[in-house]
Amino acid sequence: MTDKTDVLIYDTTLRDGTQGERVNFSAEEKLRIAQRLDEMGFHYIEGGWPGSNPKDMRFFELGKRVRFKNARLTAFGSTRRPNVRVEDCENIQTLLAADTPAVTIFGKSWDLHVTDILTIPLEENLAMIRESVAYLKANSKEVVYDAEHFFDGYKRNRDYALSTLEMAWTAGADFLVLCDTNGGTLPHELTEIVTHIRKILPEAPLGIHVHNDGDLAVANSIAAVHAGVTMVQGTINGYGERCGNADLIPIIANLQIKMNRRCLPDASVRQLTNLSHYISDVANIPPQNSRPFVGRSAFTHKGGVHVSAILKNSAAYEHIKPELVGNQQRVLVSDLSGKSNIEYKARELGIDLGTKDAMSTKIVKRIKIMEDEGYQFDAADGSLSLLMKKITGEFKEPFVLECFNIINAKTENNPSLTQATIKIVVGDEEELTAAEGNGPVNALDNALRKALLKFYPQISEVHLIDFKVRTLEGADGTAAKVRVLLDSRDDEEVWSTIGVSTNVIEASWHALVDSIQYKLCKDKLNKHHKED
Amino acid sequence: MTDKTDVLIYDTTLRDGTQGERVNFSAEEKLRIAQRLDEMGFHYIEGGWPGSNPKDMRFFELGKRVRFKNARLTAFGSTRRPNVRVEDCENIQTLLAADTPAVTIFGKSWDLHVTDILTIPLEENLAMIRESVAYLKANSKEVVYDAEHFFDGYKRNRDYALSTLEMAWTAGADFLVLCDTNGGTLPHELTEIVTHIRKILPEAPLGIHVHNDGDLAVANSIAAVHAGVTMVQGTINGYGERCGNADLIPIIANLQIKMNRRCLPDASVRQLTNLSHYISDVANIPPQNSRPFVGRSAFTHKGGVHVSAILKNSAAYEHIKPELVGNQQRVLVSDLSGKSNIEYKARELGIDLGTKDAMSTKIVKRIKIMEDEGYQFDAADGSLSLLMKKITGEFKEPFVLECFNIINAKTENNPSLTQATIKIVVGDEEELTAAEGNGPVNALDNALRKALLKFYPQISEVHLIDFKVRTLEGADGTAAKVRVLLDSRDDEEVWSTIGVSTNVIEASWHALVDSIQYKLCKDKLNKHHKED
């Protein structure tokens, strides 16, 4: 497919991405990711630095057994060590041992690094570059040459930086990748420098590899393509050390959707939202809602004024169609909310408000009152749909609370012991039970589930995945109002519920009950639908 | 100071920033933020949209009583409603009622919005712009005109977009702000368009307001300045709807440190890290470690080969000196940076660690263990100084806890009843007492104070002014670890203490005890000093 492609996408999530502080993948996870990227049509997948750690070597072992449809697997390493013969250099030999079709080696472009850090003569560095590239080519590898610190080197000693590039090129490198390793280069500087390189080495296929220290990595990558670069290196979700690498997702979306530079099949671009969430799941790093193109909030609209307009004409308020990247439009109900929000939301949640807007007016009134009390439904779809169903009469309480008691006992420096007792009524049956927990809310949660389980076995499918507490008016110290946000999930979906009170236990109770009620209520609905 | 400034910084954290999901400020919090921005030398602070919600109006009421040293407060709103006389338009009147030196109004630049959404003739929109600007000028306001959707409008109907700008300019607007409201414009497009506007309206001071939907907001803001814009609108930490607004922090850092365009006093630029953390604390949104310039990881280097090189020559691995933005270098798997911090901090807190660094090593070790448990001392000086005093032996426990019990009882839909009993020992005297509260933590707080009062009357001077709870690992739902941050004050100072536990009561207890101990300990010190 390369022939149809304008820009080659080179993913280094598995190598440079894992330099990020909390990013870790097992060799097996790496393989799963590599296969996913291959299916989507990524052109190069940098699997790791076999010389630097054994886990990476294991990945390449696994990789040998896999046939990749689109991607070329590449192993990363440095040029040969100073003052050794290239064939005797362990780094270089492990690169060959990785047995990948392509190999990526980085060399020093910045004289300061050669003289002050490697502390070798500038000529020796040039020899390291030349011999390493030539040797790998002689071993019939495709060679990607990463010019480390290129932009800083160019600014500090242009001639030397250029001579390192020319050295790699004349030695036979297939790509010269200009790296902004410290991530501090500004787009207009970068454009100027890349343009100059294109003039000097018109034949050489160029690549770009930038970091995000100036919050400019995506802009710099696009600017480089605009200036004639044909390979972009980056990571999914911009994982990487310090402020991260260039995030391939917005780069691909901007290039392909806005600049008409073909990177991946359109079908794969529609998978970007999926891919982003998949990678954060595997890395176990919570996805960022505000992430451009693929974040949960990327096409979320707030405020009554807007919403009616959005329903009229999405293009007026969205820079692209969310579907193009596999994302979707969402509307929040906020304290600027109007009836149109509610009606939109009701449709989204599949709730029938009837034809006349008496119902939505009633709902807006109720929401405004609750928002004055500190409720906030932006992030609590579950509670919102329950509220609507309660007002429209669609909802029947699955249980009634008679009472609960929570005891937290602490002696000296021992951890607290926490127990909860609860008594509920379902139909005409009473249930009294007790449970312990890590804390008062956890104990209450455990007791409530225990009490409900015999009536509603599906409760066991509900998992609480996030629990957030926010103080509303700090001014009252420990007497302040708190807002509890709870994210729950079952096998089908994730829902959020909310509770507000001056008592964190009360607030949590309301959020817990909403979460359980939402689950029971939607299951009834599904059952109902199946019966139709 | 404006005369010494190249670029005016216009902050809209309090208005557009609060459009972000989960971003909420009370009127009092808004005022605290505004005063902080003013002290740092921000030029304009957009306080809110008085027409859109009462909370914002309250902020402006509070704002009237404050004298700002540097910043001009501005109220935001739209041009007059279609087909009403400007003096009869409620929007415009509430803007005047906000009583700010400057007013910002937005008007439509994109013909599509005029015809399809406002559904009015293109001429009426021009009249709305002209009359609104002229009327506000006639009421001696400084007028900032936000040209909403300007770039999209320019691409779709250039002549009309330009005529809206010219209309605002001839009507007397002081600034014409080009807005990329949908956030989809690419830097090279934006540069071309801004350059064209400069040619057409060479006299008009231009501003830029962009959103981050393409992950290009910082780049676009810088490109605009590069093309001749002299006012940049944005928010702290890039808070804002969808993918956020342009983040002023990297914009200021890039402009002032790298492009030599003066925005703020250098001393304020050194406060940027502080400011970023302060705003995320007030918003109670966890700070992003990878945030450019100010994130905890922004200058973090992984152990190994690098470290020695970094210590040799930071410039080789950092795009700027971290101190320039008030951040610091961190080297993982090495307590070197930690120790110097501790010694610095100890000096700052007036604690003597002695000459040999055995003590600071011990403290760093202890802190690292606690940080692994989820403690975070950046925002908890009170707890940190106590910790140091405990390790250096400067500290004597003012009381010992024997036990406490908290009971939370709820029946049906009535609010919970919460009581706490506590037994403490001071010297050889025991004190057993009980108190109620409107939540478990408040009850415990009340009981502890009640028990201590007869031994330490100065406890009555301590007021808890803020109480924040944050979940640390969402994955465990209600069993997750929580971090409690407590701000306390007496007549002399404000101090922050911290507690971490899976049990919110335990975590709060630790923060409460630290707060009380800090108070008693500093008073002993003062008394001691007075005796000298």
Q: What is the pLDDT of residues A13-28, one digit of tens each?
A: 999 999 887 787 878 8
A residues 446-465 near B, CB within 8 Å?
463-465
Q: Which CATH architecture has domain A8-264?
A: Alpha-Beta Barrel (3.20)
Task: Give Cα separations from B525 to B384, B389, B395 (angstroms).
Answer: 16, 12, 10
A residues 460-499 near B, CB within 8 Å?
463-475, 477-480, 482, 486-488
Of A382, A395, A389, the residue nearest A514 (C-alpha): A382
Q: Does residue B415 belong to the interface with chain A, where contact is any CB pair within 8 Å?
A: yes
Name the residue facing B184 among A319, A336, A407 (closest C-beta).
Answer: A319
Place of tokens 């902080």: B36
Q: Under 8 Å CB-to-CB from B161, ≥6 apart: which residues?
A: B109, B110, B111, B147, B150, B153, B154
In degrees rounded to 5, what are phi and psi of residue A335? -70, 0
Q: Quick one: three-class SS letters along A14-65?
A: CCCHHHCCCCCCCHHHHHHHHHHHHHHCCCEEEEECCCCCHHHHHHHHHHHC
Maximum distance among all Cα pairs of chain B, rounded to whole angstroms: 86
Contact state of B184 with A411 under an 8 Å Cβ cutoff: no
Tell me: pLDDT of B164 over 90.
Answer: yes
Q: Report the C-alpha gap between A158 and A150 in whole angstroms.
A: 9
> What value of ipTM does the predicted structure carry?
0.75
Bridge-based pairing of strands B494-501 and A482-489 is unpaired
Residue A495 pLDDT level (bands cut at 50, 70, 90): confident
Tell me: pLDDT of A285 over 50.
Answer: yes
Name the residue facing A292 among B52, B214, B241 (closest C-beta).
Answer: B214
| B507-520 tens-digit pLDDT | 999 999 999 999 99
Q: Quick one: three-class SS letters along B45-57?
A: EEEECCCCCHHHH
Which pLDDT score, from 0 to 100, does residue A491 have?
78
Tell me: pLDDT of B174 over 50.
Answer: yes
Which pLDDT score, from 0 to 100, does residue A485 have?
85
| B343-386 tens-digit pLDDT | 766 776 778 877 767 888 888 888 878 877 778 776 687 898 89
Tell me: pLDDT of A478 over 80.
Answer: no
HSE-up (13 A, CA, CB side) for residue A332? 23
| Residues in A touching B313 (Cβ below 8 Å) | 112, 116-117
Residue A529 pLDDT level (bands cut at 50, 70, 90): very low
Q: Does residue A418 belong to the interface with chain B, where contact is any CB pair within 8 Å?
A: yes
| Residues in B touching A501 (Cβ below 8 Å) | 415, 439
Q: Report the C-alpha gap between B197 and B201 in whole angstroms.
A: 6
Name the residue facing B186 among A254, A297, A475 (closest C-beta).
Answer: A254
Name the residue facing A316 among B116, B241, B295 (closest C-beta).
Answer: B116
Of B160, B134, B165, B135, the residue nearest B147 (C-alpha): B165
Q: Report the C-alpha gap between B410 and B416 in whole angstroms.
A: 4
Tell me: pLDDT of A112 over 80.
Answer: yes
For residue B410, the surrounding DSSP H or E stretch is strand B400-411
Task: Please give the structure tokens belonging to residue A87.
Answer: 């064939």
Q: Provide mean pLDDT across the span A235-259.
A: 97
Tell me: pLDDT of B149 over 70.
Answer: yes
For residue B119, the surrounding DSSP H or E stretch is none
Q: Report the C-alpha gap between A387 and A399 in whole angstroms.
A: 16
Contact state of B319 with A182 under an 8 Å Cβ cutoff: yes
Q: For residues B275 and B267, is the Cβ–Cβ distance under 8 A?
A: no
Of residues A133 and A492, more confidently modeled: A133
Which pLDDT score, from 0 to 100, does residue B492 have?
77
**Span of A304-308, B72-76, B153-157, B176-180 with lowest mean pLDDT:** A304-308
Q: Provide mean pLDDT across the span B297-302.
A: 84
Of residues B4 and B305, more confidently modeled: B4
Q: Does residue B312 belong to the interface with chain A, where contact is any CB pair within 8 Å?
A: yes
Contact state of B503 with A439 under an 8 Å Cβ cutoff: yes
Q: For residues A71 and A34, is the Cβ–Cβ distance under 8 A?
A: yes
**Span of A45-59, A497-511, B98-112, B134-148 with lowest mean pLDDT:** A45-59
Which pLDDT score, from 0 to 100, does residue A311 have?
67
DSSP string, A123-144: HHHHHHHHHHHHHHHHTT-EEE
Tell me: pLDDT of A511 over 80.
Answer: yes
Of A185, A178, A112, the residue nearest A148 (C-alpha): A178
Which pLDDT score, from 0 to 100, does residue B336 have?
34
Which pLDDT score, from 0 to 100, does residue A371 have?
77
Q: For residues B187 and B216, is the Cβ–Cβ distance under 8 A?
A: yes
Q: Provide mean pLDDT across the span B33-46.
A: 96
CATH 3.30.160.270 placement within chain A: 400-531
Which pLDDT score, from 0 to 100, does residue B482 have?
85
Which pLDDT score, from 0 to 100, does residue B376 have?
77
SS3 A105: strand
Which pLDDT score, from 0 to 100, does residue B28 have?
84
Contact state of A21 with B289 under an 8 Å Cβ cutoff: yes
Q: Among A109, A151, A215, pick the best mutation site for testing chain B contact (most B Cβ within 10 A).
A: A215
Which pLDDT score, from 0 to 100, does residue A510 have?
95
DSSP string, B322-388: GGGGT---EETT--HHHHHHHHHHHHHHT----SSTHHHHHHHHHHHHHHHHT---TT-HHHHHHHH
Instruction: Please give the distance of CA B396 from its chain centroid, rounded to a whole number.
Output: 36
CATH 3.20.20.70 placement within chain A: 8-264
| B461-484 tens-digit pLDDT | 998 877 878 777 544 566 678 888
Contact state of A186 with B259 under an 8 Å Cβ cutoff: yes
Q: Among A181, A245, A290, pick the best mutation site for testing chain B contact (most B Cβ within 10 A).
A: A290
Average pLDDT of chain A is 89
Tell me: pLDDT of B157 over 60.
Answer: yes
Å between A272 CA and nearest CA of chain B: 14
pTM over 0.95: no
Residue B306 pLDDT level (bands cut at 50, 70, 90): low
Tell me: pLDDT of B62 over 50.
Answer: yes
Q: For residues A467 and A484, is the Cβ–Cβ distance under 8 A?
A: yes
Residue B530 pLDDT level (bands cut at 50, 70, 90): very low
A residues 32-71 near B, CB within 8 Å?
none
Q: For residues A419 and A443, is the Cβ–Cβ distance under 8 A?
A: yes
| A193-229 tens-digit pLDDT | 999 999 999 999 999 999 999 999 999 999 999 999 9
| Residues in B touching A504 (Cβ below 8 Å) | 439-441, 469, 504
Query: Other CB atoms closer than 10 Å to residue A31's CB: what's the count?
Result: 20
Q: Does residue B413 belong to the interface with chain A, where contact is any CB pair within 8 Å?
A: yes
Share of chain B above pLDDT 70, in %: 91
- Strand runs (DSSP E) across B255-329, as ranges? 300-301
| B212-231 tens-digit pLDDT | 999 999 999 999 999 999 99
Which pLDDT score, from 0 to 100, does residue A16 have?
94
Q: Provide mean pLDDT across the span B421-433.
A: 95
Tell me: pLDDT of B528 over 60.
Answer: no
Q: Provide mean pLDDT across the span A333-345.
A: 67
Å between B529 CA and nearest CA of chain A: 31
Task: Give Cα separations from B36 to B4, B30, B32, B322 (angstroms).
Answer: 21, 10, 6, 22
Query: Other CB atoms closer than 10 Å to residue A492's CB: what's the count?
Result: 10
Q: Report the C-alpha gap between A208 and A133 in whole angstroms.
A: 19
Which pLDDT score, from 0 to 100, does residue A414 have?
92
HSE-up (13 A, CA, CB side) for residue A17? 29
Which pLDDT score, from 0 to 100, does residue B527 have?
54
Name the residue facing B469 among A182, A482, A503 (closest C-beta).
Answer: A482
Task: Please give the structure tokens belonging to residue B76.
Answer: 């935001």
Share of chain A above pLDDT 90, in %: 65
Task: Please give the structure tokens belonging to residue A76.
Answer: 């990363």
Residue A375 pLDDT level (bands cut at 50, 70, 90): confident
Tell me: pLDDT of A47 over 70.
Answer: yes
Q: Which CATH architecture has domain B400-531?
A: 2-Layer Sandwich (3.30)
Å between A386 CA and nearest CA of chain B: 18
In degrees rounded to 5, what are phi and psi of residue A85? -75, 140
Name the region of B247 (left: φ>0; alpha: ψ -120 to 50; beta: rest). Answer: beta
